[in-house]
Amino acid sequence: MFGKKRIYLDFASATPTDPRVARAVFNAMRETYGNPSAAHAEGRRAYDLLEQSREAVARSFAIKPEELVFTSGGTEANNLAIRGLVEGLRTRGARYAELHIVTSSIEHSSVLETLHLLEKEGVVVTYVSPDKDGIVRPQRISEALKPNTALVTLAHVNSEIGTIQPIAEIATALASHESVLSRFAPETSFPVLHADAAQSPLYCEASPHILRASLVSYDAQKLMGPKGVGVLYRDFSIPLSPLYGGGSQERGIRPGTENAPTIAGAALAFALAKEGRKARAIQVSAVRDYLVELVEKKVPSAELMGSSVHRIANNAHFVIPGIDGDYLAVLMDKEGIAVSPRSACIGVGAGASRVVLSITGDEQKAKSTIRFSLGPFTTKSDVEKATDALTRSLAVGVQ
């Protein structure tokens, strides 16, 4: 493949950095090197850049700057939302065993692994199954609620199969629920709704007010921003405790010196994601649909996973019986095509998709997955080359 142009179709794992964003980060690193907490001129300049960036992100979602907490990425934002709420309630007298959380069985590992750790502490967690299209129905969430349900945590867009969950409808289902937890936090409406919106902003409206969620996680690296910057929206009524000690930064919720230059780049990326979102989604979904058509024509056994209607514009996730997803991704890589068998956070060689296993109950299908996730500049020519590479790789992989 030396000398041939590679085709990157793994935008769900990480996106290239927009050149405008890269320039913004470079300029800020060169000109704004002080510690935002320092009192001298260089520190004040860094603090001003930090707060200007916070205001810019807030404008892109029509929320208040004070409601935003900067983190190291989407994983930390999810951890802070989930464990931060649990620990916030514990500081007010609640015991782990008195708290109940509802989630789905197809969440990102940063959510599921956090919940598994909390279960070891005594928190009770209910895992709701999606339907065959990968949609978590509000009725199933309602049926899982208990009087002591503190939190419902769900991804707005599933990171593997791209299904868009009805978060606002779920919020409606939660509104009438009666809770016994108000004695610990009378200012809070329980259960709290947390939405992991890391995959959303390039193609979907994902403002907390539209989602009607009190906690929302975002990740700059998923929208052509720099890696290492996450954002947590937190309604003022939600009691959060920091996950670790060290300082009073981010209103005492997330200690540690803020990386003002990369946060400035992230702020620009969020603003750019908002611009032309609707047109971008239409354009990319047309290319995605063409990809699906080609795969289904060239590989008749391929099965598209997840809803074809309630799906983010850039995702096409297939089960191809008889293949090993990890091996297929390696073969595609040798062909110059970057794809992934599943969410990157699960790790290389993880063996099976928990999402597909949860939906189908079929372990062989869960091992036979491949995910194409397109970008704003992916062309029909790119997907034609990718599907040609897919057929060549399958010819090798099934021998």
Q: 3-class DSSP state for residue 232?
A: strand
C-alpha–C-alpha distance, residues 138 and 176, integer Å:
13
C-beta separation of 154 from 170 below 8 A: yes
* Residue 343 exposed, middle or buried by CB count within 10 Å (0-12, 13-18, 19+): buried
Rounded (10°) angle between helices 19-31 and 260-274: 150
Which DSSP string corresponds to 141-157?
Answer: HHHH--TTEEEEEEESB
List the catalytic residue out of 345, 358, 360, 388: 345
* 204 flagged as catalytic: no
**Residues sharing a CB contact under 8 Å with residue 6, sequence separation 6 or more, in sequence order:** 336, 337, 338
C-alpha–C-alpha distance, residues 244 and 91, integer Å:
14
C-beta separation of 376 from 280 below 8 A: yes
| Residues paired with 194 in a beta bridge | 153, 215
**Residues sharing a CB contact under 8 Å with residue 137, sequence separation 6 or more, in sequence order:** 130, 131, 166
C-beta separation of 256 from 34 below 8 A: no
Active site (catalytic) residues:
345
